[in-house]
Chains A and B, each alone.
Chain A
Amino acid sequence: MLALILTSMNFSSLNILMVSTGIIITLVSIISSRDYSYNNTYLFYLCNLIYILGFTMIILTENWIIFIIGWELVTVSTFLLLLWGSNKIARVYLIIQFIGSNFLLYVVLMIMNAGYNTIGPIDNFKLQLLLIIGVGVKSAIIGLHFWLPIVHSRAPAPASAILSGWVVKLGFIVLLKTVTTGNILLFYAGIAMVIYAGIQALLATDYKVLLAFSTISQLGFIAIGIGSGNQYAYWGSVLHIIVHGLAKTSLFLSSGYWVKSMKSRSIYQFKNGWFKDKTNSIITILGLAVLAGFPILAGYNSKHLIKYAAGDGWILKYVFHGLSIITYLYVLRFIKWGIFNLDKKGKKDLDKDRKVIGLNALSALILPIILVLLITLRSNIITSIDYTDYHLLHGFIISLIYILISVTVLKLSNWIYIKEKPVPSMDLLLIRIKNGYRWLNGRPKIERLEVDMENQIYNIAINFAKMVYNFLPKTIQSQLLFIPVVLLLLLLFYI
Chain B
Amino acid sequence: MELLLLLLIIIPLLTAFLIPLIDIINKKARRILVLAASLAEFFTFLFLVINNWDNIADGTIFIIYKMGGWLPPLGIVLSLDMLSFYFSLLITISVMFLILYSIGYIGHHEGKYYVLIFLMWTAMQGVVLTGDIFNFYVFVELLLITSAALIGFRRNKKGTIASIKYMFYGVIGGLFIFIGIILLYSNLGTLNYAEISANFTTLPFNTQGIISILFLIGLFIKLGIFPFHFWVARAQSTAPSPISALLSGVVEKVYIYAFLRLFWVVFDFNYIQTTGLDKIIIFTAITSSIIGHILALQESDLKRMLAYSTIGHLGIIIAVLTVNTKLAIIAGLLHVLSHLLMKISLFTTAGYLLQFVPSHQIKDSRGVAQQNMFVFAGFIVAAAGMMGLPPMLGFFSKLYIVKSFLDNSYYLSALLTIAGSITALIYYARYIIYGFRKTKLNSQQEFKLILSVLYRERLVTNIALVFAVAVLITGLIYKIFFGPLESVANILYNPSIYIDFILGG
Contacts and interface: CB of A to CB of B under 8 A. Distances in A.
Interface of A: 1, 4, 65, 68-69, 72-73, 76, 91, 94-95, 98-99, 102-103, 105-106, 109-110, 112-113, 458, 461-462, 464-466, 468-469, 472-473, 476, 479-480, 482-483, 485-487, 490-491, 494-495
Contact of B295 (A73, A109, A468): A468
Interface string B168-184: 11001000100000000
B156 interface: no
A494 B206 CA distance: 8
Contact of A495 (B172, B206, B389): B206
B294 A468 contact: yes
Interface residues of B, number: 50
Interface in B249-304: 275, 277, 280, 291, 294-295, 297-298
Interface stretch (B76-84, B100-108, B115-123, B418-426): B418-426
Given A105-B418, A112-B403, A465-B298, A494 B275 contact: yes
Nearest to A476: B165
Given A72-B390, A461-B426, A495-B206, A102 B213 contact: no
Interface string B416-445: 001001110110010001000000000000
Given A68-B399, A91-B429, A483-B228, A465 B414 contact: no
B298 A466 contact: yes
A494 B418 contact: no
A482 B228 contact: yes
A2 to B, nearest CB: 8
Q: Nearest 6 pairs between A and B by C-beta?
A: A465-B298, A482-B227, A465-B297, A479-B230, A69-B390, A466-B298
Nearest to B419: A102
A110 B280 CA distance: 24
A476 B164 CA distance: 11
Given A72-B390, A76-B389, A494-B209, A109 B414 contact: yes
Contacts of B221: 483
Contacts of B402: 105-106, 109
A462 B390 contact: no
Given A95-B426, A106-B402, A458-B426, A468 B210 contact: no
A92 B141 CA distance: 48
Q: Which of A94, A462, A490 has the most CB of B within 10 A?
A: A490
Contacts of B294: 464-465, 468-469
Give the dominant DSSP class at B's interface: helix
A114 to B, nearest CB: 10
B391 interface: yes
B203 interface: no
Contacts of B388: 102
Interface string B101-145: 000000000000000000000000000000000000000000000
Given A106-B402, A109-B406, A483-B228, A468 B421 contact: no
A184 B323 CA distance: 38
Contacts of B433: 91
A483 B275 CA distance: 21
Given A73-B390, A476-B168, A480-B172, A465 B418 contact: no
Nearest to B212: A494
A69 B422 contact: no
Contacts of B414: 106, 109
B388 to A, nearest CB: 8
A359 B275 CA distance: 75
A464 B476 CA distance: 37
A469 B277 CA distance: 28
B62 interface: no
Contacts of A480: 168-169, 172
A141 B210 CA distance: 54
B213 to A, nearest CB: 5
Nearest to A110: B406
B291 A72 contact: no
Given A105-B402, A468-B298, A490 B213 contact: yes
Contacts of B193: none
Interface of B: 165, 168-169, 172, 176, 206, 209-210, 213-214, 216-217, 221, 227-228, 230, 275, 277, 280, 291, 294-295, 297-298, 384, 387-391, 395, 399, 402-403, 406-407, 414-415, 418, 421-423, 425-426, 429, 433, 476-479
Contacts of A466: 298
A69 B391 contact: yes
Contacts of B429: 91, 94-95
Given A109-B403, A462-B298, A466-B298, A483 B395 contact: no
A495 B210 contact: yes
A485 B217 CA distance: 11
A485 B226 CA distance: 13
A73 B475 CA distance: 14
A486 B209 contact: no
Nearest to A489: B280
11 contacts: A68-B399, A95-B426, A103-B418, A105-B418, A106-B415, A109-B414, A113-B406, A465-B295, A465-B297, A473-B230, A483-B217
A487 B389 contact: no
Contacts of B277: 490, 494
A180 B407 CA distance: 26
Contacts of A465: 294-295, 297-298
Contacts of B425: 94-95, 98
B217 A495 contact: no
Contacts of A490: 213, 216-217, 277, 280
Contacts of B210: 491, 495
A289 B171 CA distance: 77
Given A1-B477, A1-B479, A483-B172, A102 B422 contact: yes
A408 B403 CA distance: 57
Nearest to B227: A482
B168 A486 contact: no
Contacts of B426: 95, 458, 461
Nearest to A72: B390
Contacts of B477: 1
Contact of B298 (A1, A469, A491): A469
B297 A72 contact: no
Contact of A487 (B168, B217, B395, B421): B217
A396 B321 CA distance: 66
Contacts of A486: 217, 227-228
B89 to A, nearest CB: 21
Contacts of A1: 391, 476-479
Q: Which of B227, B280, B387 has the most CB of A within 10 A?
A: B227
Given A73-B390, A491-B210, A102 B418 contact: yes
A110 B415 CA distance: 11
A458 B298 CA distance: 10
A99 B476 CA distance: 24
B495 to A, nearest CB: 22
B478 to A, nearest CB: 7
B285 to A, nearest CB: 13
B450 to A, nearest CB: 30
Contacts of B479: 1, 4
A306 B119 CA distance: 73
A105 B419 CA distance: 12
A204 to B, nearest CB: 31
Contacts of A91: 429, 433
Contacts of A464: 294
Given A91-B429, A491-B213, A72 B389 contact: yes
A89 to B, nearest CB: 14
A469 B399 contact: no
A68 B407 CA distance: 18
B295 A469 contact: yes
Nearest to A113: B406
